[in-house]
Amino acid sequence: MKAFLRSQRIILRVSRAEFISRYEKEVALQEVVTNIQEVTQEVDLAQRPQTEFQSIIEEFYAGDKHVVFSGKAPSARNSIQIEIGGSSIPLQSLSSGEKQLLQLLLEILAANAHTVMIDEPELSMHVDWQERLVASMQRVNPGCQLLLATHSPEIIAEVHEENVFEL
């Protein structure tokens, strides 16, 4: 019960001991707490792909750059923002490699369990990023099938041989 109150940042108007005593006696209160916990778990599960996406982008981006989702509808302009030190910067100010990475990973995230074909994903990307790209795409959307055409050995460096087909 204490962990629940802490996780929900609930401030009690009665003493904690009194609340816990009432909680132990009242089934309705127990049901409310259970329902809140279930909804919280569902929200966390629904936000997991977005959270993983943000984490991956921030692993690539240098310095204090953070990806922020505004919470508006996906089609709304400026629903994704980049912040540095709490200040929003325009997406146009990102380097070409940063923009390329953002676009690729967003496409992978949106693909659900479909196949995504990408020609030369390495364009504008630093060699270190190329080596990490496929694994990052798979982390963003494990259910997505990737078909990549590349001239870069770094792109396929970490891919299992049985998944590489040379044309």
Domain residue extents for the chain: 1-47, 61-93, 95-167
Work out the number of other CB atoms within 10 angstroms of the CB of residue 155. 24
pLDDT tens, position by position, 30-85: 898 889 889 989 998 888 888 999 999 999 998 888 888 876 655 555 588 899 98
How sure is the predictor about 98, in pLDDT bands with cuts at 50, 70 and 90? very high
Report the pLDDT value the prediction gives residue 18, as an integer from 0 to 100. 87
Work out the number of other CB atoms within 10 angstroms of the CB of residue 3. 7
Report the pLDDT value the prediction gives residue 74, as an integer from 0 to 100. 53
Report the pLDDT value the prediction gives residue 108, as an integer from 0 to 100. 95
CA 110/CA 113 separation, integer angstroms: 9
Report the pLDDT value the prediction gives residue 80, as an integer from 0 to 100. 86
What does pTM read for this prediction? 0.74
Q: Which residue has the higher pLDDT, 98 or 6?
A: 98
Report the pLDDT value the prediction gives residue 70, as an integer from 0 to 100. 75
Best CA proximity match to 97, nearest among 49, 52, 65:
65
pLDDT tens, position by position, 109-156: 999 899 999 999 999 999 999 999 999 999 999 999 999 999 999 999
